[in-house]
Amino acid sequence: MPQAGTSRATMEPAELGLRERKKQRTRRALRMAAIRLVAERGLDGVSVDEIAAAAEVSTRTFFNYFPTKDEAIVGLDPEDIREITEAVSARRADESPLEALREVMLQRAALVAPEQADLWPLRLAIIRRHPHLMAANAASWSSYENALAEAAGRRCGLDPARDPYPAVLVAAVLAVVRTLSVRWQEFPGAPLVEVLGQAFDSLARGLPPPQPHESSRGAAPMTTTDPCTVRPEHEES
Amino acid sequence: MPQAGTSRATMEPAELGLRERKKQRTRRALRMAAIRLVAERGLDGVSVDEIAAAAEVSTRTFFNYFPTKDEAIVGLDPEDIREITEAVSARRADESPLEALREVMLQRAALVAPEQADLWPLRLAIIRRHPHLMAANAASWSSYENALAEAAGRRCGLDPARDPYPAVLVAAVLAVVRTLSVRWQEFPGAPLVEVLGQAFDSLARGLPPPQPHESSRGAAPMTTTDPCTVRPEHEES
DNA sequence: TACAACCTTATAGTCTCTGCATTTATTCAA
DNA sequence: TTGAATAAATGCAGAGACTATAAGGTTGTA
């Protein structure tokens, strides 16, 4: 059983066999070529032919790896999905589902895989330039919404097919992560992890309205972390 | 006086000028043709040519109205966006942003514009059959995430460009609505409005983990009681 | 009526993406 | 080491999505 990964990720597991490793390399090469070229010349300024050429494979091979040009740019690696899902399942059982997701997402945001460190900003720049990619992005995420929802459901003993709670929880969490990831690029004031953390706090409190203080500070915090005046909500204890 | 739009929607405002009305009709005809045909024969069983033919316009004209075949099926009318945004702005000022959004979304879910009443289920059926459309769907929604975020921001006196709160709030809310709308088609046990209402309650409480077996709450938890069998069903292609 | 602005349309072409048959590379077992 | 068995990469042919352009119709206006 694999150690519920904190590291791993950079090294190519030697046990994987030559064929598998080659595939990973090809996929990465294609993605890098796609992102680099598109960041440079715009989405319509680059054809799949050129991307494939840059990665030194045939055009047809490109489509063996990605169903769409868009996916090559914004899609998540299936491996990443597996990692994240596993990480959620591996969290201590006494955490609430929201807490577990929070921690995994924050960790993830903190380490942004080293090889992709330089690609990440390019990706976001591209998305900002071509908003419709945010869709493809969301779509790609939604493909692991299901996986995550299942993991989340298991934590609280719910069948995600029956009870909407896990799906709702995951949808809300991923929406927050996605939104802030994109914003973060535009207003790189505070580190992403911080902004995300505050957003999660807010979410955990039921998204209470923040006070409209005339804040002329450069980086307006999401909400204060002290006992704010939460509006009276119907709650039972 | 707009009356916080409960009606309107079916009548074509006569003041709009012939040209404008014609455009609306064409757009609607194209959308209806697209949804009907695709629901019948599947996404790849219908070409844009056929859709245009069914709506009695040229293929080129189709692309004057929709940038994409997908958009014709899942995209929102700009007019709807305007209506929803206005409805949010029109809510009483003493409601919290979350409450305001909640009410608007519930109202919207309750009345599903009359002309589209029959199209709505078809749309969802199509999305379920072609999961990647959920992306286009989300994308289209995201185009009014901004509008909504701005309206939400105004309510609490925040500049949505500076403070992430409105964006986060809206993203979470729309994620929930989208998720449940899709699920609702698969498990049509409880009325959508009810399921949505429960989800909003949960959101307002900070997404607390539900108890697997104790049904201590009078107000029904999100747990459904229908025994449904489910399988993934990723048809596509 | 005449004019300007805007829609629609046909044509022709580029690009995306798929199916299929062939070739090349990798694994595995003898 | 060799020889299948297996899987991936490639080239090719083709359908369909989408666009640029130019020409022809409609609508709003003077």
Task: List the single protein residue with the shortest CA to C1' distance from D20.
Answer: B60
Q: Which residue of B has its CA nearest to A140?
A: B135
Domain A75-208 has CATH 1.10.357.10: yes
Tens-digit pLDDT profile for residues A8-39: 333 444 456 788 889 999 999 999 999 999 99
Q: What is the mean pLDDT of residues B39-49?
A: 92
User: From the centroid of its chain, how far is CA B116?
Assistant: 12
Tell me: pLDDT of A6 over 70: no
* SS3 label, residue B188: coil
The answer to whether A155 touches A148, Cβ cutoff 8 Å, is no
Q: How many Å apart are CA A184 and CA A121, to the nearest integer?
A: 10
Q: How many Å apart are CA A193 and CA A190, to the nearest integer?
A: 8
Which residues of chain B neighbour A171 with C-beta distances below 8 Å? 175-176, 178-179
B139: nearest CB among A135, A165, A174: A135
Confidence at residue A228, expressed as pLDDT on a 0 to 100 scale:
32
* Most confident by average pLDDT, A15-19, A70-74, B218-222: A70-74
Tell me: pLDDT of B14 over 60: no
Cβ within 8 Å, pair B163-A131: no
Distance in angstroms between the alpha carbons of the first and the last residue of chain A? 40
Q: Which residue of B has its CA nearest to A236?
A: B217
Tell me: pLDDT of B214 over 80: no
Which residues of chain B neighbour A97 with C-beta distances below 8 Å? 207, 209
> Which architecture characterizes domain A17-72 according to CATH?
Orthogonal Bundle (1.10)
With bands split at pLDDT 50, 70 and 90, how would you rate the model's confidence at B234?
A: very low
The answer to whether B172 touches A175, Cβ cutoff 8 Å, is yes
A164: nearest CB among B174, B212, B222: B222
Residue A25's nearest nucleotide, by CA–C1', is: D8
With bands split at pLDDT 50, 70 and 90, how would you rate the model's confidence at B217?
A: very low
Q: How far is the CA of A22 from the C1' of C24 (A)?
A: 14
Helices (H) and strands (E) in chain B, counts: 10, 0
Strand C interface, protein residues by Cβ within 7 Å: A 17-20, 22, 46-49, 59-60, 63, 67-70; B 19, 22-23, 26, 56-61, 64-65, 237
Ordered by start, the domain boundaries in chain A are 17-72, 75-208
Q: How far is the CA of A201 from the C1' of C24 (A)?
A: 55
Asked which of A139-143, A167-171, A233-237 is least confident by mean pLDDT, the reply is A233-237
A199: nearest CB among B155, B168, B195: B168
Ramachandran region of residue A236, left (φ > 0), alpha (ψ -120 to 50) or beta?
A: beta
Asked which of A7-11, A21-25, B30-34, B64-68 is least confident by mean pLDDT, the reply is A7-11
Classify domain B15-73 at the CATH topology level: Arc Repressor Mutant, subunit A (1.10.10)
φ and ψ at A188, to 5 degrees? -75, 40
| Residue A119, both tokens | 């690609």
| Residue A101, both tokens | 């997701």
Q: Which residue of A has its CA nearest to B98?
A: A207
Tens-digit pLDDT profile for residues A97-133: 999 999 999 998 887 655 566 888 888 888 878 877 8
The protein footprint on chain D, as nucleotides within 7 A of a CB, is: 7-13, 16-21, 27-28
* Most confident by average pLDDT, A166-170, B7-11, B151-155, B178-182: A166-170
Which residues of chain A neighbour B226 with C-beta distances below 8 Å? 162
B135: nearest CB among A139, A167, A212: A139
> Which architecture characterizes domain B75-209 according to CATH?
Orthogonal Bundle (1.10)
With a CB cutoff of 8 Å and minimum separation 6, the contacts of B125 are B39, B185
Q: Which residue of A has its CA nearest to B138?
A: A135
In terms of pLDDT, which residue wins out, B138 or A58?
A58
Q: How many Å apart are CA B234 and CA B237, to the nearest integer?
A: 9
Element holding A25 (H helix, E strand): helix A18-41
Tell me: pLDDT of B7 over 50: no
Taking one residue from A and the other from B, the number of pairs with CB-CB distance under 8 angstroms is 166
With bands split at pLDDT 50, 70 and 90, how would you rate the model's confidence at B52?
A: very high
B19 CB inside 7 Å of strand D: yes
Confidence at residue A205, expressed as pLDDT on a 0 to 100 scale:
92
Buried-exposed string A102-118: b where 16+ CB fall within 10 A, e elsewhere:
bbbbbebbeeeeeebee
* SS3 label, residue B114: helix
Confidence at residue B227, expressed as pLDDT on a 0 to 100 scale:
33
Q: How far is the CA of A73 from the C1' of C13 (A)?
A: 27
Residue % of chain A over a pLDDT of 90: 38
| Residue B37, both tokens | 């045909």
Confidence at residue B156, expressed as pLDDT on a 0 to 100 scale:
82
Distance set, CA A108 to CA A10, A76, A174, A193, B197 (Å): 14, 13, 13, 9, 32
Q: Which among A206, A98, A163 is positioned nearest to B212, based on CA atoms?
A: A163
Q: How many Å apart are CA B32 and CA B26, to the nearest integer?
A: 10
